[in-house]
Amino acid sequence: MRLSKTKLGNYIERVVNLNPDLSYGINDVRGISNTKEIQSTKADITNRSFGSFQIVGPHEFVFNRRTTRMGEKIGLGYNNIGKVFIVTEDYVVFRVADKSLLLPDYLNIFFRRPEFDRYARWDSWGSATEFFNWEEMCDVPITLPPLPIQQKYVDVYNALLANQRAYENSLVDLNTAIAASIEEFKHTAPRVPVGKLLDEIDVRNRDGKISNVQGININKEFMPSVANLSETDLTKYKVVKKNQFAYSAMQTGRDECIRIALFHENEPVIISPAYSVLQVKDKSAIAEYIILWFSRTESDRYGWFISDSSIRASLELVNFFEIEIPLPSISQQEAVVNFYNARNLIQRNIAALGILLKDICPVLVKGAVGEAVSKK
C-alpha cells in the first residue's frame, strides 16, 4: 500500500457559489471559530445584502484568511452539520476534488490538529494583519494514507462525534422537560419568600488550608477567580461546601442577571468575603430546585427590575430574600431535580467528549500515517 507525500492543492478545489437569488437569508448565515466549529455569526449583518454571500454545501470547507485575529490559530469550519449555510465573501470556500483519494472527513481531522494551526501561523503573510491565503492552503504539505486506512480512523472520530451529538440532542429534551415542569409549578404551587428557605452562613478559611479560590459568573457557575491574589490574605475568605450557594449582590442591574451559583463538588472552595454563602434551612426545599428557579431568564429580569439605583445596580441580600418562588411538594421537586442532575451529567460528558475530540485528532493522523508506513 502506497503512502503519498504531496501538497494539499493536488486534492482540493476552490468553490465560489454565490446567493444571487437570495435562496438563503439571515437565518442561514454562519461564522467559524478558531476551534474549527461552525457557529452563529457574531457580525452585524442587519443591513447586508445576502446576494454576495457564499453558499457552503455538505462536506465543503470554509476558512478565514486572517490569522492574527484568531488567537494565533486559523478559523476554519467543515460542513458536516447536515444543512447548507452561507458565509460572507471574506471567507474562502473549498472542497475535496477527488474523494477516491482523500476523504473530506479525514481532511477535517487533519485540520483540527494544533500542528496545522502552528503551520498556518508560520506561513501567514502581512504586517498589521497577517493572512493565510488560498495559495498557502494549496501549498500545505500532507502525507496521505491509502483510502481504507483513512476510513478506519475517520470511523473512530465519527463514532465519538456521534456520541457527542446524541448527548446534545438529549440535552435539548431535558431542557424542555425542565422548562415545562417549572412553568407548571409557577402557576400551581404556593409561593414562599427565599428568606424562609435559605440562611446566610459565614465560615472563614482561618487555618488557610483551602487555596482553591473561586468566583461565580453570569451563567451561574463557579469558576477559578481571575483576581490577582498574590498578596491576598486567604484566611479571610469564605468557605463554600457542597450544596451551598455563593451569592453576589453586585451588578445585578448592569448584567441583568442574579449572580447565584450552587456548588456541586465534594472538596470545599473559598470565595471573596464580598460574596454571601447561603444554604437551605427548610426541609421543604431542595437546593437544586432553587437554583433551577433562578436559572430562568425570567428570574434574572425580575432581579434586574428590583435592583437598586446605585452605581453598581445591586440586589442586596435582604431584597433577594424577599423574592417569592413557587414551592411544590418534595416529590415534585425531586422529579425535576432528577432532570437537572441528568442534564449536569450530560453537560460534563459533552465537555469531556469535546476535549477528547480535540486531543485525539493528532493521534489519529499519526496513527493513520504510521499504519500506512508499516504496511508499505
pLDDT tens digits, 186-200: 999 999 999 999 999
Q: Is the pLDDT of residue 217 over 90?
A: yes
Burial of 228 (0-12, 13-18, 19+ CB in 10 A): exposed
pLDDT-derived band at 362 (thresholds 50, 70, 90) equals very high
Q: Do domains 4-144 and 190-327 have the same CATH topology?
A: yes
Report the candidate in 129, 137, 135, 133 with the shortest Cα–Cα distance to residue 69: 129
Report the candidate in 368, 373, 376 with the shortest Cα–Cα distance to residue 147: 368
CB 79 within 8 A of CB 57: yes
Q: Radius of gyration of the chain from Cα atoms?
A: 26
Domain range 190-327, CATH architecture: Alpha-Beta Complex (3.90)
Report the pLDDT averaged over residues 219-236. Answer: 90
Burial of 355 (0-12, 13-18, 19+ CB in 10 A): exposed
Phi and psi for 149 in degrees, rounded to 5? -70, -40
Q: Is the pLDDT of residue 140 over 70?
A: yes
| Helix or strand holding residue 366 (H, E) | helix 330-374
pLDDT per residue as tens digits for the range 38-80: 998 877 787 788 999 999 999 999 999 887 666 778 999 999 9
Q: Which residues of 106-119 are buried (b: 16+ CB within 10 A; e: fewer)?
A: bbbbbbbbeebbeb
- Total Cβ atoms within 10 A of residue 294: 24
CB 83 within 8 A of CB 60: no
In whole angstroms, give the CA distance from residue 329 to residue 277: 25
pLDDT at 226: 84
pLDDT at 73: 86
Cα first-last separation, the chain? 5
Q: Which CATH superfamily is domain 4-144 in?
A: DNA methylase specificity domains (3.90.220.20)
In whole angstroms, give the CA distance from residue 330 to residue 321: 21
Whole-number percent of the chain with pLDDT over 70: 98
pLDDT at 1: 46
Report the pLDDT averaged over residues 230-247. Answer: 95
- Total Cβ atoms within 10 A of residue 10: 14
In whole angstroms, give the CA distance from residue 245 to residue 12: 54
Q: Where are the domains of the chain?
A: 4-144, 146-177+343-376, 190-327
pLDDT-derived band at 2 (thresholds 50, 70, 90) equals low
Cell 473512530: give the residue.
156
